Chain A
Amino acid sequence: MDDTARRSETSTQAAVQVQDVSMVFDGTPAVDAASFDLAHGRFLTILGPSGSGKTTLLRMIAGFQTPTAGEIFIKGTPVSTTPPHKRSIGMVFQKLALFPHMTAAENVAYPLKMRRFAPADIPGRVKRYLELVQLGPYADRRIHQLSGGQQQRVAIARALVFEPDLLLLDEPLAALDRKLREEMQLEFRRIQQELGVTTINVTHDQREALVVSDEVIVMDDGRIQQMASPTTTYGEPANRFVANFIGVTNFLPGEVIGAESGRARVRVAGHELEGRVAEPLAAGTQVDCALRAEHARILGEAEAVSFSADAVITESIFEGDRTVYSVVAQALGGAQIRVFDTLHAGAGNKGIGDAVRIGWDSRHLMVFPR
Chain B
Amino acid sequence: MFRAAPFRIAVWSVVVFNIIFLGLPTVVIVLASFTAGDLLTFPPEGFSLRWYERLLGMRDFREALGRSLQVALFCTLFAMPSGTLAALAMVRYRIRFARTLQLYFLLPFTVPLVVSGIGMMYVFGDMRVLGSLWPVGLATCAINLPFMIWSVSSAVNRLDPDLENAAANCGATPLQAFFTVTIPALMPGIITGALLMFILALNEFIVSIFLVDASIVTLPVWMYTSIRNIITPDLAAVSVVYILFAIVSIFALDRWVGLDIFLKSK
The interface of chain A, by Cβ under 8 A from chain B, is: 62-64, 83-85, 89-91, 93-101, 110-111, 114-115, 158-159, 162
* Contacting residue for A101 out of B170, B176, B185, CB 8 A: B185
A158: nearest chain-B partner, CB-CB: B170
One digit per residue, 1 when the CB lies within 8 angstroms of any chain A CB and 0 when it does not, for chain B 152-180 equals 00000000101101111111111011001
| Contact assessment for B169 and A94 in the assembled complex, using a CB-CB cutoff below 8 Å | no
Q: Please give, as numbers and ranges, the residues of chain B lying within 8 Å of A62 by CB-CB distance.
A: 165, 169
Q: Is the interface of B mostly helix, strand, loop or mixed?
A: helix
| Contact assessment for B184 and A97 in the assembled complex, using a CB-CB cutoff below 8 Å | no
Decide yes or no whether B187 CB sits under 8 A from chain A: yes
Task: Contacts A85-B174, A110-B170 known; list 12 others, CB within 8 Å.
Answer: A63-B168, A64-B165, A84-B165, A85-B172, A85-B177, A89-B169, A94-B162, A97-B160, A97-B165, A99-B166, A101-B184, A162-B170
| Contact assessment for A84 and B187 in the assembled complex, using a CB-CB cutoff below 8 Å | no
* Contacting residue for A83 out of B163, B168, B176, B187, CB 8 A: B168
Q: Please give, as numbers and ranges, the residues of chain A lying within 8 Å of B181 by CB-CB distance.
A: 99
- Give A91 to B163 CA distance when docked, in angstroms: 12
* Contacting residue for A90 out of B165, B169, B172, B184, CB 8 A: B169
B187: nearest chain-A partner, CB-CB: A101
User: Closest CB-CB distance, A42 to chain B, in whole Å?
Assistant: 21
* 8 contacts across the A-B interface (CB closer than 8 A): A63-B168, A83-B168, A85-B168, A90-B169, A100-B185, A114-B167, A114-B176, A162-B170
- Give A114 to B171 CA distance when docked, in angstroms: 5
Q: Please give, as numbers and ranges, the residues of chain B lying within 8 Å of A110 by CB-CB distance.
A: 167, 170, 172, 180
Q: Please give, as numbers and ranges, the residues of chain B lying within 8 Å of A96 by CB-CB distance.
A: 160
- Give A89 to B168 CA distance when docked, in angstroms: 10
The interface of chain B, by Cβ under 8 A from chain A, is: 160, 162-163, 165-174, 176-177, 180-181, 184-185, 187
Q: Please give, as numbers and ranges, the residues of chain B lying within 8 Å of A84 by CB-CB distance.
A: 165, 168-169
A108: nearest chain-B partner, CB-CB: B170
- Give A24 to B177 CA distance when docked, in angstroms: 28
B162: nearest chain-A partner, CB-CB: A97
| Contact assessment for A99 and B163 in the assembled complex, using a CB-CB cutoff below 8 Å | yes
B173: nearest chain-A partner, CB-CB: A85
Q: Please give, as numbers and ranges, the residues of chain A lying within 8 Å of B170 by CB-CB distance.
A: 85, 110-111, 114-115, 158, 162
- Give A62 to B167 CA distance when docked, in angstroms: 12
- Give A147 to B2 CA distance when docked, in angstroms: 37
- Give A94 to B160 CA distance when docked, in angstroms: 10
Q: Please give, as numbers and ranges, the residues of chain A lying within 8 Å of B177 by CB-CB distance.
A: 85
Q: Could you say which of B163, B165, B185, B187 has the most chain A C-beta atoms within 10 Å of its C-beta?
A: B165
- Give A110 to B180 CA distance when docked, in angstroms: 9
B170: nearest chain-A partner, CB-CB: A111
Q: Please give, as numbers and ranges, the residues of chain B lying within 8 Å of A85 by CB-CB distance.
A: 167-174, 177
Instruction: Sort A-B residue pairs by CB-CB distance and give the 8 closest, nearest first.
Output: A111-B170, A97-B166, A114-B171, A97-B162, A115-B171, A84-B168, A101-B184, A85-B168
| Contact assessment for B168 and A93 in the assembled complex, using a CB-CB cutoff below 8 Å | no
Q: Please give, as numbers and ranges, the residues of chain B lying within 8 Å of A90 by CB-CB distance.
A: 169
- Give A90 to B165 CA distance when docked, in angstroms: 11
User: Closest CB-CB distance, A156 to chain B, in whole Å?
Assistant: 13
Q: Please give, as numbers and ranges, the residues of chain B lying within 8 Å of A101 by CB-CB distance.
A: 184-185, 187
User: Closest CB-CB distance, B239 to chain A, in whole Å?
Assistant: 37
Given the contacts A90-B169, A114-B172, A95 and B185 also touching, CB distance less than 8 Å? no
Q: Please give, as numbers and ranges, the residues of chain A lying within 8 Å of B169 by CB-CB distance.
A: 62, 84-85, 89-91, 111, 159
- Give A62 to B160 CA distance when docked, in angstroms: 17
| Contact assessment for B171 and A162 in the assembled complex, using a CB-CB cutoff below 8 Å | yes
- Give A115 to B171 CA distance when docked, in angstroms: 6
Q: Please give, as numbers and ranges, the residues of chain B lying within 8 Å of A97 by CB-CB distance.
A: 160, 162-163, 165-166
| Contact assessment for B168 and A95 in the assembled complex, using a CB-CB cutoff below 8 Å | no
Given the contacts A100-B185, A101-B184, A101-B187, A95 and B162 also touching, CB distance less than 8 Å? yes
- Give A97 to B172 CA distance when docked, in angstroms: 14
| Contact assessment for A93 and B162 in the assembled complex, using a CB-CB cutoff below 8 Å | yes
